[in-house]
Amino acid sequence: MTSYTPFTGNNVEQAKTVRKTTVLDVMRRLLQPKNRMVSTVPGKKSDVDPTDVHKSLLRIRERRLATFIPWGPASIQVALTKKSPYIEQNHRVSGLMLANHTSIATLFKRIVRQYDGMRKRNAFVEGYKKTAPFAENLDEFDEAREVVTDLIAEYEAAEDANYLNPDAGGTEATGSAGDPRDHEATRQ
């Protein structure tokens, strides 16, 4: 999943209202679900004091603005970068977050449901049947569906507190705040 802030354009009036671009404000916005594009290795482009980043990380942890998987380290890794001399920016600080987030399973489930509906109607298959791999059957599509289903199951299992120790029995982890899908999977 990705998040980016501030996401503005000079030709959109409502976008010009984003003025506050402190390190904490940018990091807080990156963690908000509404700013996710499909969650945690944020990169920041600017001339930022590393102590500002450290203070912001402490505030995020104190305010519990991010929840984490129970079986991994509760950390956010930040990479500071210099501003590009070739791109003019209106904001002092901007941020990009790339994350492995268990809530992506919801998107995969929707894709599987849509695939099942199209497969049931044999929608859009005629073009594929004219090519060599699919001339005889569409088994490769069904195998791909199974791979996605297995991936969904893996993400759902990752929400369990005993994910790394499956013999210990399962108690679903809901974290300290909110939906269990909001656990940030920071482990790579």
Position with higher pLDDT, 49 vs 12: 49
What is the reported pLDDT for 186? 38
Amino acid at site 33: P
Report whether pLDDT(152) > 90: yes
**pLDDT for the residue numbered 61:** 81
The total of other beta-carbon atoms located within 10 Å of residue 3's CB is: 23
Residue 32, both tokens? 């908000």
Mean pLDDT, the chain, integer: 74
pLDDT digits (tens, 9 = 90+) for 38-72: 544 444 445 677 888 888 888 888 888 777 777 87
Question: Which domains occur in the chain, in start order?
Answer: 2-101 (3.30.1330.20), 104-185 (1.10.287.600)
Q: State pTM to two decimals.
A: 0.58
| Predicted pLDDT of residue 25 | 80
What is the C-alpha separation between 137 and 125, in angstroms, rounded?
A: 10
Q: What does the H/E/C string look like for the chain?
A: CEEEECCCCCCCCHHHHCCCCCHHHHHHHHHCHHHECCCCEEEEECCCCHHHHHHHHHHHHHCCCCEECCCCCCCCCCEEECCCCCCCCCCCCEEEEECEECCHHHHHHHHHHHHHHHHHHCCCCHHHHCCHHHCCCCHHHHHHHHHHHHHHHHHHHHCECCCCCHHHCCCECCCCCCCHHHEEECCC
Per-residue pLDDT band at 177 (split at 50, 70, 90):
very low
